[in-house]
Amino acid sequence: MEAKTYSTSKFELDGRPALKEAVPLGLQHVLAMFVGNIVPMILVAGAANLSASEANMLLQCCMIGAAISTAIQLYPVKVGSVKIGSGLPCMMGLTYVFLPACLSIAGSSGVAYIFGAQIAAGAVAISYGALLKKMSHLFPPVVTGTIVMTVGVSIFNLAIGNIAGGTSSPNFGALVNWGVGVFVVFVVLGFNVFGKGLPKVAAILIGMIAGYLVSIPLGLVDFSGISGAAWFAVPKPFAFGVKFNFGYFLMFLLLYFIVAVQMIGDFNVSCMGGLDREPTPEEIGGGATANGITSIISAVLNSFPTATYSQNSGIVALTKVCSRFVIGVGCIILFVAGLCPKVGAVLSTIPNCVIGGGTVVVFAMIATSGMKLLVKAGFSNRNCLVIGVSLAFGLGTQFCKGASAQFPPGVAAMLEENSVILTSILAIILNLVFPKDQAAPIEKGE
């Protein structure tokens, strides 16, 4: 039997470029999502009053959990007729959709109840894959474009907050942070627009390395945490125990569905940007099924629920590098970082302003990917109403803090922390309610 041959192109889904290309491109994905992946753990550890050693274990676990989740998404398997994994170029990590609920549970009941709700609701969420396959008709370009655009716009503040130094930093907004962040943006844009070959597709990595080197003499890099970190450590499964609460289970059940809808947007960014097509119902269904399973695995490994990372989908759209092998290499780097706290400690020294400079370009690409889908849908009066009303309520509720203060606490937190939720619901409903015969575009053009 002849061995299967693979293309060496990094611009093909099954391409396997040489390691001299795959390693820096994979590292670029890790750097883009690293801080976002560990921040929820840091916040929850603080809310639960965990010790330093317990908090460090959680940080290890979130890297290992993200790596395993990514690997399953990249290389799906079939169990009977059920596909587990999307097979699309995406990176998984801790999702902020669950963060308000996790903070509340950790502060009032303890992290063991988080893992209990995560496992119980995750077992049900596995069925969301089959559900989304049947519901694929609910996500035409006017809906998915609105969702993707919302994903990008809603996290602009995260990128700017990082450029300014991080909202929790005592020197937040300092000119030195802005200087480094903007410098990174210009380096990324310069290499992406004028570069060729590897420098062009690794523009974000080059920009972040340049920003890091500039940050060292400016005193923005703190190396103090590296020496105390161990070289190797294997986290203990179920280290914090598992406890169940029916109310938390119901809350997580809804959140898993919201994450599944958000994943559709990220899959669209990766596919439209890297593969020049929309994701298939089978890919969407397989991705949602895998997310339920990987979130259960994450709970066993003391990590929280995962989801696709928009910034990594944005990197695929920006660079056109859609090779699963490249992201798989990044996945291995992340896994090693989880087993080697020393590596994680080194990566965690990257200043927020450097990360912000790299991700602001990525987030902009996510938003414009949504715009491309909306152009495909056409800007009829009917579609403009679907888009405009959905964005107004979704983004408006997130930006106007306190507007939903009289809602039940859990609902208010979800509306104000994640605009994708309300935007998605409204876009789906309005697209179903408004008659289709009004969808002819007002202006013609290619």
Tens of pLDDT, residues 151-163: 778 778 878 888 8
Q: Which two tokens stand for residue 72?
A: 């399953």
Residue 446 in this model has a pLDDT that exceeds 70: no
- Is the confidence at residue 413, as pLDDT, over 80? no
Phi and psi for 193 in degrees, rounded to 5?
-85, -45
Distance CA 265, CA 271 (A): 10
Q: Which residues, including other chains, have CB under 8 Å from residue 220's CB and lie 6 or more apart?
A: 176, 177, 180, 351, 353
Could you tell me which residue, 100 or 271, shows the higher pLDDT? 271
Supply the Cα-derived Rg of the chain in whole angstroms: 21
Structure-token pair, residue 350: 């990257």
pLDDT tens track for 324-366:
999 999 999 999 888 887 776 776 677 888 888 887 887 787 7
Residue 300 has pLDDT above 90, yes or no: yes
User: Do you know the residue count of the chain?
Assistant: 446
**pTM of the predicted model as reported, rounded to 2 decimal places:** 0.72
Torsion 51-57-58-60 (CA) sign: positive
Strand partners, 343: none
Residues 6+ apart with CB under 8 A from 135: none
**What are the pLDDT digits (tens) for 361-370?**
877 877 887 8
Is pLDDT above 50 for 224? yes
